[in-house]
Amino acid sequence: MDLVLVRIIFFLVLCTACSLLRPFGLNLWLSALLGAVASALVVVFELRVRALSLKRLIGAVAGSILGIFGAFLISLVLRGSLPAGQTLSLLQIFVLLLMFYVGLLVGTSKGDLLNLAALGDLFSTERSSSRRHVKILDTSAIIDGRIADMAETGFLDGALVIPEFVLRELQMVADSQDGSKRQRGRRGLDVLQRMQSNALLTIQIVANDYENIREVDLKLIELAKEMDAKIVTNDFNLNKVAHLHDVEVLNINDLANALKPVVLPGEKMQIVILKEGKESNQGVGYLDDGTMVVVDHARRLIGRSVEICVTSVLQTASGKMIFGKVEESVRGMEIAK
């Protein structure tokens, strides 16, 4: 909230200043509009800079300084080669903007190659603190889509890292000949776009790869060890292998199961009987979260919403199953019919 207030004050101050000073001889309203556009660009730039990692930020600053220094040297050559005038001034401005732009982009893209440990303990506290909150997303978590909702609610703090090899795997799924796979892959790409467009999330795409390792799961584990990060997934096998390598894992399915409402024997609930059960005279319904409810003496109630009494709850590796029975009054009415 404080940042929003500061941005609003900055916007108003810049608009007022431009209205009073009237740059380029513009009238009152054009000057105010110029101030509004300039302040909006500054805020957008600030949001993008906040999303950068420390390495990329240092790389951007270093690249910009080197670009400006290079433009200064080129301007000295131009000053000695061309007569003074508007052409020389235009060339000098063009060279300055060009070198600054190239230095900024190159420095930002190569910032991940910096080794901050070489600077001693200056960044050690910040680096260790930020690493504890880094989370690496695997392909299954991205395709699943629930990770976007979790991140937007604020339950996932820190940076969300997406390796290049995960993006390649996701693109292969999106380009698959199989229709269902292609749809899942495109859904994953849409989820990534949605997350990147959220200014409150820090999304980092890293180019780290391990050419001597073929399996994507093992690459994720090596990257998690290198970055001291956690892996976010809903892949059961990756979860087990990562634990064997002492890598922390955040399993989305485990979280979903933990958040399911607690149901105790003796409680009553309303359920719609959708189909027959495996056993004789059983009916089956589902809760809103997908939990299966098996109801005794409910075969004749398919398609109806009935009140049941919970008799037992079974927790399995794939989820939770609830067993219940139809209330006596409802059974009596059905038998009477």
Nearest Cα to 80, choosing from 91, 96, 69, 66?
Answer: 91
SS3 string, 156-198, reads: CCCEEEEEHHHHHHHHHHHCCCCHHHHHHHHHHHHHHHHHHCC
pLDDT of residue 15: 87
Distance CA 54, CA 134 (A): 13
Distance CA 266, CA 269 (A): 10
pLDDT of residue 11: 86
Helix (H, G, I), strand (E, B) or coil at 86: helix
CA angle 110, 114, 115 (to 5 degrees): 165
| pLDDT tens, N- to C-terminus, the chain (337 residues) | 467 788 888 888 888 888 888 888 888 888 889 888 988 888 888 877 776 777 778 888 888 899 999 999 998 888 888 888 888 888 888 988 899 889 888 888 877 676 665 555 455 444 444 445 788 988 888 888 888 888 888 777 778 888 888 888 888 988 888 888 888 889 889 988 888 888 778 888 888 888 788 888 898 998 888 888 899 988 888 888 988 888 888 888 888 777 777 788 888 888 898 888 888 888 999 887 778 899 988 888 888 888 888 998 887 766 678 899 887 655 555 544 5
Determine whether 300 is exposed, middle or buried from the number of CB atoms within 10 Å of its CB (0-12, 13-18, 19+): middle
DSSP annotation of 247 reads -
Domain ranges of the chain: 2-113, 128-258, 268-336
Distance CA 285, CA 308 (A): 11
Helix (H, G, I), strand (E, B) or coil at 78: helix
Distance CA 16, CA 8 (A): 12
Nearest Cα to 331, choosing from 275, 252, 291, 273?
Answer: 273
Q: Which CATH number fits domain 268-336: 3.40.50.80, 2.60.40.420, 2.40.50.140, 3.30.470.10?
A: 2.40.50.140
Distance CA 236, CA 143 (A): 15
Q: Which fold does the domain 128-258 belong to in CATH? A: Rossmann fold (3.40.50)
Cβ atoms 227, 136 nearer than 8 A:
yes
The pair of three-digit structure tokens given for residue 246, joined into one six-digit string: 């002492």
CA angle 108, 110, 113 (to 5 degrees): 130
- The amino acid at residue 70 is G
pLDDT of residue 68: 92
Cβ atoms 262, 284 nearer than 8 A:
no
> What global pTM score does this model have?
0.48
Q: How far apart are the first and last CA of the chain?
A: 63
250, 252, 254, 260 alpha-carbon torsion, rounded to 10°? 140
